[in-house]
Amino acid sequence: MKKIIIIIVILCFLTVTNILINSNSSELKKEMVLLSEAINLTDPASSFEITNRDKKLKLVQEESCYKIKSIDYCADDKKVKLLKKFLNNNIKDIYKNSEENINRLGFNSVGKSPSIIINENKTLFFGNINKYNEIYVLQDNKIYKVLYYKGLLDASTKQWIDKSKPIISLFENDKFDIEIQGCGILGGDIVAGDIAPISIEHKDLVSNQKYSILRNSFFDLYASDLRIMTHDELEVLYSKYKTLRIFLSPHTKNKKVDYYYHIWKEDHLVYLKPGNRLSNRAFIIPNSVYKNIGLHCKK
């Protein structure tokens, strides 16, 4: 009997303890403050400027997306949501902006610390990341400890551009012809000499297996990065003609419309640029596209 009473007492004790713990936990959750609230971010985040070492990247909200200012191109929506999620982090701890904490938590050189400016008026400086994947954030006279998200402070356009939309809007069931011009400039490992334009009609693209890789090269073609070309670079591109020229001619009900692209290789990178002279964007694309085109260049 005594054993049963002892067991009942222990169970009662554990039950009461559990209730108290849950009650305390609930109270803590109610008292938790979001980072955006702590820094008094009253307006929605319409711009972010990320600075990390010698790189700077600015995102500005427009109607359709957040644009990467330097290249006037949409940022990856998932990455932008990550920034907003970070601002809605629960603060895990708060520290005074003292000399001891500045040195201890990784802000000994605030001017060189990674930073994010929100709405051009709220600057967050970032310190150490601890073993629990928590980062220390300095804003005005307080330091906040919050959960960190990988890639948040990357200021490279390569990590932020929208990779969800293909550069060329072609689908498997689209009918189109291909014309390749400028094969003679490839030289070296592929071909050299003066080469006449190579035209391949749609019926051959779909019926002859040797063209299947070439045709498929233009589907689901996404940019891995984007480069804005200067006026001088464009002049060299057009005057020296150091590019392959690709005409993609989709069949429409009334006529064929040519889409014209420059493709060239610099060092280990391959670029694709719309043929329109007004466009100064050059997309970095897979090297395989350049090789696949080169395979169909003949002497």
- Do 278 and 201 lie in one domain? The reply is yes
- The residue that leads in pLDDT, 115 or 298, is 115
Instruction: Give me the domain span that covers residue 244.
Output: 176-294
Predicted local distance difference test score (pLDDT) of residue 2? 54
Same domain for 151 and 51: yes
Tell which wins on pLDDT, 276 or 139.
139
In a domain, residue 13? The reply is no
160 pLDDT more than 80: yes
Are both 40 and 69 inside the same structural domain? yes
pLDDT reported for residue 28: 35
Beta partners for 246?
180, 261
Instruction: Using the predicted structure, report yes or no on whether residue 194 has a pLDDT greater than 60.
Output: no
Query: Which DSSP state fits 194?
Result: -
Higher model confidence: residue 237 or residue 35?
35
Instruction: Let me know whether 101 and 199 are in one domain.
Output: no
State the Cα–Cα distance between residues 8 and 14, nearest whole angstrom.
10
Is pLDDT above 60 for 10?
A: no
Domain for residue 170, yes or no?
Answer: no
In a domain, 18, yes or no: no
In a domain, 141, yes or no: yes
Q: What is the CATH number of the domain that holds 224?
A: 2.60.40
Instruction: Judge if 198 and 286 occupy the same domain.
Output: yes
Least confident of 141-150, 164-173, 209-218: 164-173
State residue 135's pLDDT score. 96
Q: Is 42 in the same domain as 116?
A: yes
What is the tens place of the pLDDT at every residue in 234-267? 888 877 657 888 888 887 765 556 788 999 888 8
- Which secondary structure element, helix H or strand E, spans residue 8, and what is its range? helix 2-31
Q: Hey, what amino acid is at 253?
A: K
pLDDT digits (tens, 9 = 90+) for 264-287: 888 889 999 998 777 888 999 999
Whether residue 19 is contained in a domain is answered as no
In this structure, the answer to whether residues 181 and 206 fall within a common structural domain is yes
For the residues 125-131, what does the mean pLDDT come to?
94
Q: Give the domain-ending residue among 94, 126, 160.
A: 160
pLDDT by residue (tens digit) across 77-111? 999 999 999 999 999 999 998 889 988 998 876 56
The chain-wide mean pLDDT, for the chain, equals 82
**Shared-domain flag, residues 154 and 234:** no
220 and 153 in a common domain: no
Instruction: State the Cα–Cα distance between residues 178 and 163, nearest whole angstrom.
Output: 25
Do 40 and 155 lie in one domain? The reply is yes
Q: Which of 102, 128, 160 is the last residue before a domain boundary?
A: 160
Domain boundary pick from 160, 188, 223: 160
Residue 164's pLDDT is what?
87
Q: Does 145 lie in the same domain as 41?
A: yes
* 125 and 203 fall within a common domain: no
> Please, which pLDDT band fits residue 154 given cuts at 50, 70 and 90?
very high
Number of domains observed in the structure of the chain: 2
Model pLDDT for residues 52-81, shown as the tens digit of each residue? 988 999 999 998 899 999 998 999 999 999
Residues 221-237, mean pLDDT to the nearest whole number: 87
Of all residues in the chain, what percent carry a pLDDT higher than 70?
81
Closest alpha carbon to 202 in 179, 220, 177, 182: 177
Edge-to-edge strand ranges of the sheet holding 259-266: 198-200, 176-181, 244-250, 259-266, 269-274, 281-285, 225-228
- Is the separation of the CB atoms in 110 and 139 below 8 Å? no
Q: Kindly give, in sequence order, each residue whose CB lies less than 8 Å from that of residue 140, ignoring residues fewer than 6 positions away.
A: 39, 97
- Residue 214 inside a domain? The answer is yes
In the predicted model, is pLDDT for residue 8 greater than 60?
no
Q: Is residue 165 part of a domain?
A: no
The answer to whether residue 117 is domain-embedded is yes
Is residue 107 classed exposed, middle or buried when 0-12, 13-18 and 19+ CB atoms within 10 A define those classes?
buried
Q: What's the pLDDT score for residue 231?
A: 87
